[in-house]
Amino acid sequence: MKIYGIKNCDTVKKTLKFFDKNGISYEFVDFKTTSPSCEDLQRWAEAVGLKKLFNTRSTTYRNLKLKELDLDDTAKIEWMCKEPLLIKRAIVESDQNIVVGYDEDAFTKLITKGA
Q: Is the pLDDT of residue 83 over 70?
A: yes
- Kindly state the DSSP code that residue 52 receives in the 8-state scheme: H
Residue 3: CA count within 13 A, CB half-sphere: 25
38 a catalytic residue: no
Q: What is the pLDDT of residues 31-47, one digit of tens each?
A: 999 999 999 999 999 99
Q: Which of 2, 6, 9, 40 is catalytic?
A: 9
Q: What is the pTM of this model?
A: 0.90
Please tell me the total count of domains within the chain.
1
Q: Is the pLDDT of residue 56 over 80?
A: yes
Domain range enclosing 91: 2-114
Q: What's the angle, vertex CA 80, arms to CA 87 and CA 32, rounded to 5?
A: 65
CATH of residue 59's domain is 3.40.30.10
For residue 2, the cross-strand partners are 27, 93
